[in-house]
Amino acid sequence: MATTAVPEPTAVPEPTDGRPDGRATRGGERWRATRYIARDGLRVARTGPGHHDTAAAAAATADGVRPTAGQVGKPVSLPPPSGETHPEGDSRPTPHTREETLMQTVTTVTLNNGVEMPILGFGVYQIPPEQTEQAVGDALAAGYRALDTAAAYGNEEAVGRAIRSSGVAREELFVTTKLWISDAGEDRARRAFDTSLRKLGLDHLDLYLIHQPYGDVYGSWRAMERLHAEGLARAIGVSNFHADRLVDLIDHNEVVPAVNQIETHPFHQRTDDQAIMRERGVQIESWGPFAEGRNNLFTHPVLGGIAAAHGKSVAQVVLRWLIQREVVVIPKSVRAERMAENIDVFDFRLTDDQMAAVAALDTGESLFFDHRDPAMVSRLGNVTLDA
């Protein structure tokens, strides 16, 4: 089999977790971002005069998820103009023109081995390598501490450069990457892990996932169990596994996957999958939370009405809906103002009626492709990566 680079996005058709973001430019306005670290409980140590943000604390603890030991806050200037459509192909309206200080409390979920994982992170799928370093640097400056990449994305090295130049301590970060199908198997998975670790410039990963449920999954999992036992991967998990494949893997191995990253958004909500994961101790994680804008997500009247009620954007409502469902989510953008908007979701809460209204949008089907489609299985299984 010939070895080729994975073209983006066609050969690995996992979609972006957002909408087309256009050029990786900062725009005319620089966003102010100051990092704060919570040292214990909900007390926040901040530069300059400090105060305890009880509203943010209440919103965080009400989610049923815990504040991370590295909570992040930031003062931001919300960008003008009001009510305009974003340029560069993005249909999301900009936030209203105003300047205010927001304290962001990024909460965590506890994985089945006790590891704390931020419930909201930053994904880099479909970000070209030449734009990834800038994008990740901007995300870290905005307050993100969880980063999600993959060998198949071709941008692990750029993620690593951004981490090194950010000044953020390694222990504050939660870094995920993924094993591609062509590297499946006990020996190849170990070599692929070492390659990813070298490209990222790290001495361990926080989470290592099997990217697709194909190839020698069981050989890969045995290698990953050893990586976990050796402390090189703090947690291991899977991606794109339907419930039957997930249960089979659990029943025939020692370590239960900590995470299953699957397509999850308002039109494909995966409630049955999430119920099985809860029974088995697996954390659900969403890719594609905005469905790439399909089904007119950013102008949907139900989502738009909820957004107007809270003075938030549709994207913020979708992220908040996922967080209240205890779904880990990794929105992607190459624009700093979008990154700041996407992390600004911990100061409000959807009502039960609003949660039910979003739940009613579920179609129960993928908007992208079926991981059980034989043609797709063959297509993905024949994509190999350059070394």
Active site residues: 153
Give per-residue pLDDT as tens, 279-309: 999 999 999 999 999 999 999 999 999 999 9
Give per-residue pLDDT as tens, 117-167: 999 999 999 999 999 999 999 999 999 999 999 999 999 999 999 999 999
| Residue of 139, 194, 193, 204 lying closest to 165 (CA atoms) | 139
Tokens of 33: 């971002």
* pLDDT at residue number 387: 64
For 293, which DSSP code?
A: G
* pLDDT at residue number 386: 78
Query: Is 46 exposed, middle or buried, given 0-12, 13-18 or 19+ CB atoms closer than 10 A?
Result: middle
* pLDDT at residue number 369: 87
Calculated CA dihedral for residues 271, 276, 278, 281, nearest 10 degrees? -150
Tokens of 17: 């977790």
Distance CA 257, CA 53 (A): 35
Question: What domains are defined for the chain?
Answer: 37-369 (3.20.20.100)
The reported pTM is: 0.77
* pLDDT at residue number 309: 98
Cα 26 from chain centre = 21
Are 259 and 237 in contact by the 8 Å Cβ rule? The answer is: yes
* pLDDT at residue number 104: 54
**Half-sphere exposure of residue 59: CA atoms within 13 angstroms, side-chain side:** 18
Cα 384 from chain centre = 24
Amino acid occupying residue 322:
L
**The total number of residues written for the chain in this structure:** 387
